[in-house]
Amino acid sequence: MTRSTCVALLITGALTLPARDARAQSAVLTLPDLSQHARVGQRIGLTDITIDYHRPLVRGRKIFGGVQAYGEVWRAGANDNTTIHFSDPVTIEGKPLPKGTYGLHFIPGPSSWVAIFSNNSTSWGSFTYDEKEDALRVAVSPRPIEMLEALRYQFDDPTDRSCAVTMQWERVSVSFTVAVNTPEIVARSLRDQLRGRIQTEWQPWEEAANYLIENRLDAEEAVRYANQSVSIEDRFENEITRARALANAGRRDEARGAEQKALTLGSERQVYDFARSLQRLGQHEQALAILRRNVEKYPDGWLADVERARIAVGGRDYPAAVTAMRAAVKAAPPAMGPALADLARQLESGIDINK
């Protein structure tokens, strides 16, 4: 074969090869992806959710029920596995799923979809998907949306305990609800945090005790935290928290003792604020008794006049309450004047300001 013949064959062969799409990816070079890489995340309480995916474009095609046939597993994106990571155990549509990273897939349908969480998160899309590797499947319902060119994941309706994970593409949106037991996760986290340097300070222990109390968690653990806070520095704040923890644990006599100790340690304003918190909880007689003791201890000043007004309201003596509140308006700092004047006007109208 002559040299000219070889060249002719090479040219002919080259012309018969399919033209390479100028936008296609290279197996050996780093070039822009046709479907751009994206990563989105959301925190629920202390739990992080991260979705790693590629964003294909519609480009004039019919996607669901077209390019992506109904009833077939779809890789929930483009290129590599779409993955979803949970930093703590969660529930998906009420079904438990351990913490970890999962391959996310869908099976689209005209009226119902299936969301799949696979233990295999490192495959290339869904091409080697194996149902035996499923960690969880849940049914989800599609809903129509306006045309969306690029695939998108987003987090809707976030609270400290749940959110909806939403996939949107073409004219379809599907969502599934992720929920976490935030109080239990926080309680576990607090145990670890309190082993660090902050264990030498009173405030972290008191804050941890309050969290357990407010979320109705382990009452005795809350007592231990409050006791530790008091042992570092005995203050009004942690004695009040200790009283609450003891009451929740059913140790009423100890709770009363801790509360009385707190009242001896508290400033005039701290004790007043505590009495107001009791009034907001409907514990009016206990609050009034504390206000009376506070007035006896701190008889002078505008705050004492406010307390006298609230005590008078408790006795349904509105004229005396108005007189005391007007005195408070005159003696209070300018910044407090408008709020106190408003309380005085309410009293003149016979409104119970202690509720």
Give the other-Cβ count within 10 Å of 139's Cβ.
12
| Mean pLDDT score, 291-311 | 95
Note whether 105 and 118 are within 8 A (CB): yes
pLDDT, tens only, 114-140: 999 999 999 887 888 999 999 999 999
Q: What is the pLDDT of residue 26?
A: 57
DSSP letters, 164-212, are EEEEEEEEEEEEEEEE--HHHHHHHHHHHHTTSGGGGSHHHHHHHHHHH
pLDDT, tens only, 58-113: 999 999 999 999 999 999 999 889 999 999 999 999 999 999 999 999 999 999 99
Q: Residue ranges per domain, the chain?
A: 33-180, 181-266
pLDDT over 50 at 283, yes or no: yes
Q: What is the mean pLDDT of the chain?
A: 91
Q: What is the pLDDT of residue 21?
A: 39
Nearest CA among 208, 211, 213 for reference residue 248: 213
C-alpha–C-alpha distance, residues 204 and 210, integer Å: 10
| Burial of 37 (C-beta count, 10 Å sphere; 0-12/13-18/19+) | middle
Note whether 340 and 325 are within 8 A (CB): yes
% of the chain surpassing 90 pLDDT: 85
Note whether 282 and 260 are within 8 A (CB): no
| Mean pLDDT score, 275-286 | 90
pLDDT band at 17 (very low <50, low <70, confident <90, very high): very low
User: Strand, coil or helix: what is 117?
Assistant: strand
pLDDT over 80 at 4, yes or no: no
pLDDT over 80 at 25, yes or no: no
Note whether 167 and 151 are within 8 A (CB): yes
CA of 6: how far to CAs of 3, 12, 168, 201, in Å? 5, 10, 54, 85
DSSP class of residue 298? Answer: S
Tokens standing for residue 5: 């013949």
pLDDT, tens only, 228-267: 999 999 999 999 999 999 999 999 999 999 999 999 999 9
Rounded to the nearest 5 degrees, what angle is found at the Cα of 36, between the Cα atoms of 35 and 42? 125
pLDDT, tens only, 164-202: 999 999 999 999 999 999 999 999 999 999 999 999 999
Q: What is the pLDDT of residue 80?
A: 85
| Lowest mean per-residue pLDDT among 39-53, 108-122, 273-287 | 273-287
Nearest CA among 107, 137, 105, 138 for reference residue 121: 105
- In CATH, what number does 181-266 get? 1.25.40.10
C-alpha–C-alpha distance, residues 311 and 321, integer Å: 8
pLDDT over 70 at 9, yes or no: no
SS3 content of the chain, % helix, strand, coil (to 5): 45, 25, 30
Cα 280 to chain centroid, rounded? 26
